[in-house]
């Protein structure tokens, strides 16, 4: 076969490059089309809510409306969609780091997810996605801090740093875009971080600010009421008043249509913690067991079971405490920060004089060190503490 001459090869190469350029441009155009999927409030199809989708460019993603310049028949119209009807928001230019962070969270790899969320904030993506990454980073840092042991001196500094960073991230969102879709979540997150940091006056101000927002979603306003009640115990040592208020909020949230189960369970969890602080251990343990079984989320269940186990340990019921921690070990392994804590406390219970299961204690320590090597709980297990 006769080889092509040089000029022929060049002409083919130029044509190929031109075609690639066209395809790349077409792909880029396709990528910048955003979509919003939402429910049609008054319509149902075979008993299910009918869905509509608008495509175009998202102008703003607020907690009241998502606004999109939608294209229809070659023309553009601005559409305001009530946020409570929105099922999904998809930006045409996605974030690989943000997508990876979702996967890491599903696997319980919170520390890895934090790194991925920090990377997402440096990408050339929509502001709404960057704010979402900020929110998720703050929430994860708060969850990690809440799993640490405030009674263990080396953990104290890490808890303070993590909660301070989370509060700063939440406040950054509120400063940059106070009307952002997830601003109410950031506001509640800031309230919780401030409360856990012991900054009770600032936390109280945050709670009042949330409750004064007449257009905030009910879920976030319930959570503000819950943590405002918790502040009665934390800041004023008025545990009975806090318990009464939390009980009322749980009952009210449970009667909503539809029931706000997550808010109700969070109120019951904090009520259980207040009861434990009053050393009404048995009442606390019964309530925490209820949340541990019926809780609306895996996180709430794991928190409740760990708190119940700690309550049992405090009154010397080491065998029953061991079973409470093992429920977290077996059932809630995706909640890795709490899983590490449960493994450590279970190993202590197994090694105690009342249980005397040294081999089981050693197995639990080895599992802790293998699965959570960088945690303070693994460090303590290695040191024989």
73 or 243, which is more confident? 243
**Whole-number percent of the chain with pLDDT over 90:** 85
Residue 49 pLDDT: 73
- Residue-range domain boundaries for the chain: 31-92, 96-216, 219-278, 281-385
Summarize pLDDT for 152-164 with one digit per residue, the tens.
988 999 999 999 9
From residue 293, alpha-carbon distances to 1, 19, 289, 303, 326 in Å are 76, 60, 6, 11, 14
Residue 17 pLDDT: 43
Answer yes or no: pTM beyond 0.85: yes
> Is 3's pLDDT higher than 80?
no
Residue 312 pLDDT: 98
Distance CA(308)–CA(281), nearest Å, equals 9
Q: What is the mean pLDDT of residues 90-106?
A: 95
Residue 275 pLDDT: 98
Summarize pLDDT for 247-290 with one digit per residue, the tens.
999 999 999 988 999 999 999 999 999 999 999 999 999 999 99
Residue 11 pLDDT: 43
Find how far residue 273's CA is from the centre of its chain: 21
Q: Is the dihedral of CA 322, 104, 147, 337 positive or negative?
A: positive
6 falls in which pLDDT band (50, 70, 90)? very low
Q: Any idea which residue has 């409306």 for tokens?
A: 65
The highest-level CATH class for domain 281-385 is mainly alpha
The highest-level CATH class for domain 96-216 is mainly alpha
Mean pLDDT score of the chain: 91
| Domains 96-216 and 281-385 alike in fold | yes
Summarize pLDDT for 186-203 with one digit per residue, the tens.
999 999 999 999 999 999
Summarize pLDDT for 34-71 with one digit per residue, the tens.
999 999 976 555 556 789 999 999 999 999 999 999 98
CATH fold label, 31-92: SH3 type barrels. (2.30.30)
Could you tell me if residue 77 is left (phi over 0), alpha (psi between -120 and 50 degrees) or otherwise beta? beta
Among candidate residues 334, 265, 307, the one with its CA nearest the CA of residue 105:
334
Q: Which of 10-14, 38-42, 113-117, 211-215 has the lowest mean pLDDT?
A: 10-14
Give the residues across from 380 on adjacent strands.
Answer: none
Q: What is the mean pLDDT of residues 213-236?
A: 96
Residue 116 pLDDT: 98
Residue 254 pLDDT: 93
**Half-sphere exposure (CA, 13 Å, Cβ side) for 164?**
6
Q: What is the mean pLDDT of residues 366-377?
A: 95
Distance CA(143)–CA(134), nearest Å, equals 14
Among candidate residues 217, 189, 210, 183, the one with its CA nearest the CA of residue 62:
183
Residue 75 pLDDT: 87
27 or 375, which is more confident? 375
Residue 24 pLDDT: 47
């Amino acid at each position: 076969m006769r080889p092509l001459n040089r000029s022929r090869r060049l002409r083919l190469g130029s044509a190929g490059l031109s075609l690639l350029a066209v395809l790349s441009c077409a792909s880029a155009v396709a990528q910048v089309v955003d979509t919003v999927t939402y429910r049609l409030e008054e319509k149902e199809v075979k008993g299910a809510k009918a869905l509509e989708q608008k495509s175009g460019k998202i102008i703003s993603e607020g907690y009241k409306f998502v606004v999109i310049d939608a294209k229809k028949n070659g023309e553009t119209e601005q559409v305001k969609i009530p946020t409570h009807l929105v099922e999904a928001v998809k930006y045409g230019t996605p974030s690989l780091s943000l997508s990876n962070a979702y996967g890491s969270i599903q696997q319980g790899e919170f520390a890895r997810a934090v790194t991925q969320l920090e990377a997402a904030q440096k990408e050339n993506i929509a502001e709404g996605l960057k704010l979402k990454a900020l929110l998720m980073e703050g929430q994860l840092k708060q969850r990690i801090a809440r799993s640490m042991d405030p009674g263990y001196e080396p953990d104290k500094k890490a808890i303070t740093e993590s909660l301070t960073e989370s509060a700063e991230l939440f406040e950054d969102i509120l400063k940059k875009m106070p009307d952002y879709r997830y601003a109410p979540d950031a506001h509640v997150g800031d309230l919780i971080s401030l409360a856990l940091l012991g900054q009770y006056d600032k936390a109280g101000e945050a709670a009042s600010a949330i409750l004064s927002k007449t257009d905030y979603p009910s879920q976030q306003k319930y959570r503000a009421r819950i943590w405002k009640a918790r502040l009665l115990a934390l800041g004023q040592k008025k545990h009975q008043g806090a318990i009464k208020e939390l009980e009322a909020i749980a009952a009210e949230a449970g009667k909503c249509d539809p029931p706000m189960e997550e808010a109700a369970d969070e109120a019951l969890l904090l009520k259980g913690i207040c009861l434990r602080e009053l050393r009404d251990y048995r009442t606390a343990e019964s309530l925490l067991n209820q949340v541990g079984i019926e809780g609306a989320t895996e996180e709430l269940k794991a928190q409740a079971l760990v708190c119940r186990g700690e309550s049992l340990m405090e009154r010397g019921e080491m065998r029953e405490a061991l079973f409470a921690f093992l429920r977290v070990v077996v059932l809630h392994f995706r909640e890795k920060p709490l899983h590490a804590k449960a493994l450590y406390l279970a190993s202590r219970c197994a090694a105690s004089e009342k249980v005397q299961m040294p081999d089981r204690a050693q197995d639990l320590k080895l599992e802790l060190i293998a699965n959570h090597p960088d945690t303070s709980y693994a460090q303590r297990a290695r040191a024989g503490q």
